[in-house]
Structure 1
Amino acid sequence: MSISRRSVLKASALFALVPLAPKLLSANEASMSEHADKMGKVMSKASEMKYVTSLVENGEVVTGAHWGILKATIKHGKIVSSNGLNTSKEKIKNPLQTVVADQVYAKSRIKHPMVRKSYLKDPHNSKPELRGKDEWVRVSYKKAIELIANAVKETREKKGPQAIFAGSYGWKSSGNMHNCVVLLQRYMSMGGGFTGITADYSTGAAQVMLPHVVGTLEVYNQQTVFPVVMENSKVIVIWGANPMVTLRIAYSVTEGSGLEFFNNLKKSDKKIILIDPIKSDTVQFLMDRKNSQWIAPIPNTDVAMMLGIMHTMYTTGKYDKKFLDNYTTGFDKFLDYMLGKTDGVVKDTKWASSICGVDEATMKDLAKTMFENRTMIMAGWGMQRAQHGEQPHWMLVTLASMIGQIGLPGGGFGFSYHYANGGNPTAKAAVIGGMNVGKATSGGAAWLQKASSVNIPVSKIADCLANPGKVIDANGGKVKYPDIDLIYWVGGNTIGHHQNINNYLKVWQKPSHIIVHDAFWTASTRHADIVMPTTTSYERDDISMSGDYSNLNIVPMKALVKRQYEAKDDYEIFSDLAEKAGFYKEYTEGKTPREWIEQFYNTALKSGKPQGISMPDFKTFWDKNMPITFEVPEEDKTYVRYSDFRDDPILNSLGTPSGKIEIYSEVVAKMNYDDCRGYPSWFEPVEWLGMKNKPAEFHLLSPHPELRLHSQLANTSLRDKYAVSDREPIWIHEEDAKAKGIKNGDIVRVFNARGEVLAGAVVGKHVRKGVLKLSEGAWYNPDSKGLCKNGCANVLTLDISTSKLANGNCPNTALVNIEKYKGKVEKVDIFEEPKNMRDFRI
């Protein structure tokens, strides 16, 4: 797993405040056979635990989710409504908070353990080519556990732990107890190991690149705080970010401060510059005021645009030479590139304009405006999810270095203002810990004692499945792909999430076993061998912090209703699998989820006392069912990122080899990659609108959706608000639509060599000409010929690496064609149960 800031935040798992000290099995304790006997006597040892202590039949219950601290109304044991806690007329509403009931009672709920027919008949000759097509058979929970346990045991014994891929990736539930990814990896780690992942899809390029530049991940660091920005910044540049949408969520539980900041920013007299090929919700929100400017460059050309701005700064003398000399290294080598001394190409505004499509006057004005005013550049992550995605953020840091305001109040750059309320001051809090991945037990052969250290870049799973044994470059080192024969996926919808789905489905047939836990019949569950129905976060007790950076609250996540159908918590499932494998005691430490939650709380309570943090005892906290809110120290309200470094760059040096901002990185240069030099550079993408022989006509961008969290909430009534002709909406410029004979509301076919989808046309001026917007996260729903009826963007995207350095993913580098659809329109049926299911139990 990645050791990024985000991993610490989202995987409370790896670096939890509550360390595990599992007592290893001794020779005199229960043997494997004794464990097996116990499993024969009871269906599930874990089921003996009391999972939910109490439920409210009628009343209001407070809980939490990615989209906020929630208050749900319960009548006769059913959820009838939900909203954010402490909502008011003054606050911006978050529509994602209103559909709790839709999730719990969705038609797409997985009701029972299900096994693919051919797999159930013979797991060793299961016809994997039938995944997604085969009949489903309902089995007992006991049978499903036996099948999973046998598959894991057999794979380890025959092919070793590296043959098991448990690098599940996705936005699992917010709770610290029921972190299904950690629970899976805890089971796999204790059992002997697995193949895991490095990095993530969100910031795959930037989080590998930026440590070479500024010594930290940066994309998951606290920003110069909102109050400082409001007081000191004169110009705000929002570059490739859509915070009015992405701040509706957080990896833990959002506390909503970011939306309020941008609402206040709208009311201010600051100049706001919005750079995005899409007229996003944020652009529309902030353009409805004086002193706002929208600039729409050609997609994937931000680096060229920045170079044009910086060339103007240099030639006009409007740049901070003193800052460059004192706080950065390597500007001279970059300057030779920018002035054309290394390649004969001068990167001036004329050159930049021919690439990015922004006129020279605009770039020259930006250079003057940003240098002459206290400027904060708030950049998003979308432009690094493209080929050569390492370059935009590196180039932006270089631009900010030329402006010279890094470390000053309200100046510099920030890469997390659009994510998880980066910028809300950090509270003086007692932080809740969570589950840990654990240690290998002694219940097996000697090679089981050490968990596998094999990891692959998360975005390379398809390449790994297709090419076992292949060696790739990665950040100056080498990675050898293992031969994966078992995939265990929890907490995410990988088919739909990964790029070039049609290719992914081909390599998805290679492993012998695919096991998925989920609450819903997504594309990933439909293409598995064994499916385990799990609870939603509203059917189990849990606990979380609110505020990924601020740690503003401890939130009780109380179960709202009983577990639906045969759904079980991941903890119960993995506890029973641990029982089968002989380390149940170590896995559970004898604790129910409620006891784990109480332990997490009490550890935080204990750690808070020396700091003077007042918290009630656990019972009082739990019974009151309200969040604890911590105070923010005055000094934290004035936090300025890099101020210490600016004050004393020697004493407070950065984590780079030079201790400074590395505009030129000797480390990167020595890697000698042809797709990432030692300084930030413009590289032509493999697919973009400026290429000579385009494979398709339009550039497709697939940003974060407005009314979902990736693919989460796609099966709720929110879909009624955005679906067009019952399809995912696709934005097209009105002139492009006219040329193609497309009208608003038409069903259109979007296609390229990788695949084809249907979508509903939204015609207007919300995108640059030549650009289409089809949000990621639509559930993949193919017809018999492979046409996705529901508009899943990843059918069309490229599955290539950003570069040899980071191996990030490139969904925003893709060209497509579009036309009005004239074929038979089939019903979108992905939000219902599969039709090919046997309704009797085996």
Structure 2
Amino acid sequence: MRSASTLGRRFLNAFGGQTATRASISNEGAIFASRHTLGLFLPPPAHKSLPKSQLVIMWGFNPSQSIEGTNTNWYLAQAKEQGTRFIFVDPRFSNSAAALADQWIPLRPGTDTAMLVAMATVMIEESLCDQEFLARCTFGFEYFRDYCLGVTDGMPKTPSWAEEICGVSADTISALAREYATSKPACLWPGCAPGRTAYGEQFHRACIALAAMSGNIGVRGGGAGCYVGQDVRGILKMSSIDGLSNPTGKSVVGWRWADAVVQGKRGGYPSDIKMILSVAGNRLNQCGDIHKGIQALKQVEYVVVMDHFLTPTARYADLVLPVTTQFEQEDVQLSHGESVYMFHSGKALDPLGECRTDLEIFTELAERLGLDGFPSDAEERWLPQLLDKSPVHLEEIRDQGVYWLSQDEVVPLQEFVKDPEGHPLPTPSGKIEIYSQTMAELGNPSLLPCVPTYIDTWEGPHHPLSVRYPLLLVTCHSGRRVHSTFDNVSWLRELEPHTIWVNPKDAQERHIQDGELVEVFNDIGSLIIEAKVTERTMPGVVSVFQGTWFELDDSGRDRRGSANILCKDTISPGEAAATNAVLVQMARWDE
């Protein structure tokens, strides 16, 4: 119930409207690809199906730290024990790879689509495609085939072609294509990280195409190649608080919020923003180009932040309203991922100090401003109402603690695959659109081509900037934080020091020793961080766990190692945040 962001939207829309933010920073590439290829959003592969997989390819996915639903790691361990083969494709040898991998294939960040397209070429040339599945369940495969074979542009997308781009040998690409095509069933499980690149939506569309070509969609132990999530609230018939429609109709991509403020209408944005209300977020810290974000917060006339702590965003506010934590209020929480359940979040203690709930704050503000939509008894009335039609009501969930929906093993798209005519997808053709008709209607074939296409990233080894900044940065998720949440917990910081991973070859070239402080920099910013010299990242690639709260010194360098001090606020054509494949340089740091 207490979705603070929804309550904030409801309040501003009741007040007369807002310039809202849109597009998920986490997985907009996957959302875009799903919308235009499948017409719907899918949950991850059924956990119980994983032990049935002969092969699981974890592509840019590290579930031991980026947890994808309850018990995912337990089911992955079960699959491993029962003989499932795991291949990890990732620039880093992650903790998940250390626990599960039979093979690790490192590749350059931002080049994943080139490798996937080359695998498709092998499957086409060696007649390894499931032609019956493609004929029944897909639309436009012939256009993708022509692209892979070079009929479209004169450039066959062979493994040798991809080797020059992604740094993976042609033999390795060919072998992976053959193994994936002939292992039945096989699950291609992509993470969100490869989609957070310059053309990230193409990665997710290519994954779906490969899954369709192999015939692994709609079968136990297989996978559809692109996962966004499912409507748990709808499945549990739980109502939601209406955010109300935005009278202005205006919005900007959330990752670009600072640019929208700084540039305003003269930069093509819909508004000249004068005030910012920040609710349930640490956007300054969690979006690219932190220096531009600081400029934006200083430029507007007033900034209000509602939060539990004095976060980096709150430090730049004119007014901070202290809100309660989940321990000081009652609510019902919903699951994320493949499982479907709700659990009771009880009130453990009274609000501390002057803290109030988000709902109390907005209710009192609405009363003072004479706005509708926040009744005085909302705290008592709304939660029971939201559960009115669900299988379990408030008193029951209070007593039970958890309600877990008993389901048979759910295999995404199983009904569609069995009967495409009787259970069509919500796409123009009713099928999986390898050639997307809705993307064709967008009319931007060079940036949003209708078939999965590799497009050179704007930052990479061949970019002119690589002469000054020859290393590619990837920003990963830490096991000791949830994005930036918990970074202010001192004992968690002691548990795992915050470092930058650097390959021994790159460290030796720069005379850097393990444990030394280094400066990492580019045209966007600079940070000081401890080096972790390790072979767990491929040469030419460095990685920093995102989410640390930045602290700038007098020279504007970040002394806490916040990755977004180095990231641009650029987005893909499908509005995915480009947080990975960032060009940087690194040098020893002497105070």
Shorter-chain TM-score tier: over 0.9
Specify the code of the residue in structure 2 equivalent to 1:718. L
1:176-222 CA-partner distances (Å, limit 9, x unpaired): 2x221122122222222222222211112221232111112x3xx22
Q: Which residue of 2 aligns with 1:654?
A: 425
1:205-263 CA-partner distances (Å, limit 9, x unpaired): 221232111112x3xx22442222323x111111111111111xx7xxx6x32122122
Q: Which residue of 1 aligns with 2:454?
A: 682
Counterpart among 342, 352, 368 of residue 152 in structure 2: 342
Question: Compared with structure 1, are the counterparts of its residues 794 and 589 closer, same or farther at alpha carbon in structure 2 (3 Å cutoff)?
Answer: same
1:714-767 CA-partner distances (Å, limit 9, x unpaired): 0112111112xxxx3111112221222212211111101111001111111111
Q: Which residue of 2 aligns with 1:503?
A: 292
What is the CA-CA distance between 1:655 and the residue it aligns to? Answer: 1.4
Q: Which residue of 1 aligns with 2:494?
A: 720
Question: Residues 556 and 627 of structure 1 are in contact (CA less than 8 Å); yes or no, is this contact kept in structure 2?
Answer: yes
Counterpart among 502, 505, 527 of residue 316 in structure 2: 527
Question: Residues 502 and 541 of structure 2 are in contact (CA less than 8 Å); yes or no, is this contact kept in structure 1?
Answer: yes
Question: Compared with structure 1, are the counterparts of its residues 782 and 427 closer, same or farther at alpha carbon in structure 2 (3 Å cutoff)?
Answer: closer
Summarize the alignment of residues 348-747 of structure 1 with structure 2, pairs less than 5 Å apart. Answer: 348-373=158-183, 374-416=185-227, 430-438=236-244, 451-469=247-265, 480-547=269-336, 549-552=338-341, 554-583=342-371, 586-591=372-377, 593-601=379-387, 603-604=388-389, 607-608=390-391, 615=392, 618-619=394-395, 622=398, 624=399, 626-633=400-407, 636-637=408-409, 639-673=410-444, 674-691=446-463, 694=466, 695-716=468-489, 717-723=491-497, 728-747=498-517
Question: Residues 218 and 224 of structure 2 are in contact (CA less than 8 Å); yes or no, is this contact kept in structure 1?
Answer: no
Matched, 1:258 2:38: no
Question: Compared with structure 1, are the counterparts of its residues 510 and 262 closer, same or farther at alpha carbon in structure 2 (3 Å cutoff)?
Answer: same
Secondary structure at the counterpart of residue 561 of structure 2: coil
Q: Which residue of 1 aligns with 2:575?
A: 807
Summarize the alignment of residues 58-207 of structure 1 with structure 2, pairs less than 5 Å apart. Answer: 176=1, 178-207=2-31
Secondary structure at the counterpart of residue 100 of structure 2: helix
CA–CA separation in structure 1 for the residues paired with 2:215 and 2:464: 38
Matched, 1:235 2:55: yes
CA–CA separation in structure 2 for the residues paired with 1:779 and 1:714: 7
CA–CA separation in structure 2 for the residues paired with 1:541 and 1:276: 41
What is the CA-CA distance between 1:428 and the residue it aligns to? Answer: 12
Structure 2: where are the runs of 5+ without partners?
none
Matched, 1:314 2:103: no
CA–CA separation in structure 2 for the residues paired with 1:369 and 1:529: 58
1:395-449 CA-partner distances (Å, limit 9, x unpaired): 1111112212222222233434xx88x8xx989975544433258xxxxxxxxxx
Specify the code of the residue in structure 2 equivalent to 1:183. L
Question: Residues 495 and 501 of structure 1 are in contact (CA less than 8 Å); yes or no, is this contact kept in structure 2?
Answer: yes
Specify the code of the residue in structure 2 equivalent to 1:669. A
Counterpart among 817, 824, 836 of residue 585 in structure 2: 817
Q: Which residue of 2 aligns with 1:796?
A: 566
Specify the code of the residue in structure 2 equivalent to 1:388. Y
Q: State the 4+ residue runs in structure 1 displaced beyond 4 angstroms.
A: 425-432, 617-621
What is the CA-CA distance between 1:592 and the residue it aligns to? Answer: 5.2
What is the CA-CA distance between 1:666 and the residue it aligns to? Answer: 3.4
What is the CA-CA distance between 1:280 and the residue it aligns to? Answer: 1.1
1:25-49 CA-partner distances (Å, limit 9, x unpaired): xxxxxxxxxxxxxxxxxxxxxxxxx
Secondary structure at the counterpart of residue 399 of structure 1: helix
CA–CA separation in structure 1 for the residues paired with 2:252 and 2:551: 28
Summarize the alignment of residues 216-295 of structure 1 with structure 2, pairs less than 5 Å apart. Answer: 216=40, 218=41, 221-231=42-52, 233-247=53-67, 256-287=70-101, 292-295=102-105
CA–CA separation in structure 1 for the residues paired with 2:306 and 2:452: 42
Counterpart among 748, 756, 768 of residue 518 in structure 2: 748
Specify the code of the residue in structure 2 equivalent to 1:822. D
Secondary structure at the counterpart of residue 485 of structure 2: coil
What is the CA-CA distance between 1:628 and the residue it aligns to? Answer: 3.2
Secondary structure at the counterpart of residue 229 of structure 1: helix
Secondary structure at the counterpart of residue 560 of structure 2: coil
CA–CA separation in structure 1 for the residues paired with 2:31 and 2:404: 30
What is the CA-CA distance between 1:680 and the residue it aligns to? Answer: 1.3
What is the CA-CA distance between 1:507 and the residue it aligns to? Answer: 2.9
1:101-137 CA-partner distances (Å, limit 9, x unpaired): xxxxxxxxxxxxxxxxxxxxxxxxxxxxxxxxxxxxx
Question: Residues 304 and 352 of structure 1 are in contact (CA less than 8 Å); yes or no, is this contact kept in structure 2?
Answer: yes
Larger radius of gyration: 1
Question: Compared with structure 1, are the counterparts of its residues 526 and 816 closer, same or farther at alpha carbon in structure 2 (3 Å cutoff)?
Answer: same
Question: Compared with structure 1, are the counterparts of its residues 580 and 390 closer, same or farther at alpha carbon in structure 2 (3 Å cutoff)?
Answer: same
Summarize the alignment of residues 4-43 of structure 1 with structure 2, pairs less than 5 Å apart. Answer: none
CA–CA separation in structure 2 for the residues paired with 1:229 and 1:265: 6
1:45-89 CA-partner distances (Å, limit 9, x unpaired): xxxxxxxxxxxxxxxxxxxxxxxxxxxxxxxxxxxxxxxxxxxxx
TM-score (norm 2): 0.94
Question: Compared with structure 1, are the counterparts of its residues 405 and 548 closer, same or farther at alpha carbon in structure 2 (3 Å cutoff)?
Answer: closer
- Alignment root-mean-square deviation, CA: 2.3
What is the CA-CA distance between 1:571 and the residue it aligns to? Answer: 1.5
CA–CA separation in structure 1 for the residues paired with 2:129 and 2:75: 30
Specify the code of the residue in structure 2 equivalent to 1:567. C
Question: Compared with structure 1, are the counterparts of its residues 338 and 822 closer, same or farther at alpha carbon in structure 2 (3 Å cutoff)?
Answer: same
CA–CA separation in structure 1 for the residues paired with 2:283 and 2:236: 34
Question: Compared with structure 1, are the counterparts of its residues 180 and 693 closer, same or farther at alpha carbon in structure 2 (3 Å cutoff)?
Answer: closer
CA–CA separation in structure 2 for the residues paired with 1:533 and 1:395: 45
Question: Compared with structure 1, are the counterparts of its residues 512 and 495 closer, same or farther at alpha carbon in structure 2 (3 Å cutoff)?
Answer: same
Secondary structure at the counterpart of residue 208 of structure 1: helix
CA–CA separation in structure 1 for the residues paired with 2:438 and 2:224: 24
CA–CA separation in structure 2 for the residues paired with 1:645 and 1:429: 19
- Number of aligned residues: 587
CA–CA separation in structure 1 for the residues paired with 2:130 and 2:266: 47
CA–CA separation in structure 2 for the residues paired with 1:318 and 1:800: 38
Question: Compared with structure 1, are the counterparts of its residues 494 and 322 closer, same or farther at alpha carbon in structure 2 (3 Å cutoff)?
Answer: same
What is the CA-CA distance between 1:325 and the residue it aligns to? Answer: 2.3
CA–CA separation in structure 1 for the residues paired with 2:233 and 2:321: 39
Question: Compared with structure 1, are the counterparts of its residues 670 and 432 closer, same or farther at alpha carbon in structure 2 (3 Å cutoff)?
Answer: closer
Question: Residues 426 and 549 of structure 1 are in contact (CA less than 8 Å); yes or no, is this contact kept in structure 2?
Answer: no
Secondary structure at the counterpart of residue 451 of structure 1: coil
Question: Residues 23 and 575 of structure 2 are in contact (CA less than 8 Å); yes or no, is this contact kept in structure 1?
Answer: no
Question: Residues 486 and 512 of structure 1 are in contact (CA less than 8 Å); yes or no, is this contact kept in structure 2?
Answer: yes
CA–CA separation in structure 1 for the residues paired with 2:443 and 2:549: 40
Secondary structure at the counterpart of residue 28 of structure 2: coil
Specify the code of the residue in structure 2 equivalent to 1:596. W
Structure 1: where are the runs of 5+ without partners?
1-175, 440-449, 473-479, 609-614, 824-842
What is the CA-CA distance between 1:594 and the residue it aligns to? Answer: 4.0
Question: Compared with structure 1, are the counterparts of its residues 687 and 621 closer, same or farther at alpha carbon in structure 2 (3 Å cutoff)?
Answer: closer
Q: Which residue of 2 aligns with 1:14?
A: none
What is the CA-CA distance between 1:531 and the residue it aligns to? Answer: 1.0
